[in-house]
Amino acid sequence: MINKRIGIDLFQEKLEYLSKSEYYAKALQKPQLKLSKSADMLFDYEFARLYKTYENSIERMLQSRQDSLSTINLSEQQTSTVVNHYNDLIRKQDEQINRFKQQEKQFQYEIGQYQTKITNLEQNLQEIKDQYALLKISTRQG
């Protein structure tokens, strides 16, 4: 929630400012503050003491959270890079598949032409064999 609203860095900066504040230092010194007016009191003793107790823990927690967010951001960047790489690879493979399909169509067309030529050559060969057989018969008779 802190990261979404103000950012961990800004929050840590404000906590550091709190630790250096003279109001915080005064609240830590005396459980019973003597104030001339209520607006002078920014922190009470219990808050200052509680914050002092947990200050290091809070800092460590924020730092570890910031580190994990950095790791998540890095991981998201790596994932994005990998996804882009695979998208490019898929695009290239799709183009290659389309080229192969075009080549297949061309080859199928050529196969049809060659089959027609073979059929014509077989017919010509049969005609030549028939003519040869007729010539052979006519030369024997004559």
Q: Which residue has the tokens 């050559």?
A: 121
82-139 pLDDT tens trace: 888 889 999 999 999 999 999 999 999 999 999 999 999 999 999 999 999 999 999 8
User: What is the DSSP annotation of 31-57?
Assistant: SS---SSGGG-SS-HHHHHHHHHHHHH
Selection from 58, 34, 32 nearest residue 46 by Cα: 32
The whole-angstrom separation of Cα 135 and Cα 138 is 5
Residues of the chain with pLDDT > 90: what percent?
35
pTM of whole model > 0.85? Answer: no
Contact between 65 and 8 under an 8 Å Cβ cutoff? The reply is yes
Q: What is the pLDDT of residue 37?
A: 62
Q: What is the pLDDT of residue 45?
A: 78
Q: What is the pLDDT of residue 80?
A: 82
What's CA 125's distance to the chain center, in Å? Answer: 65
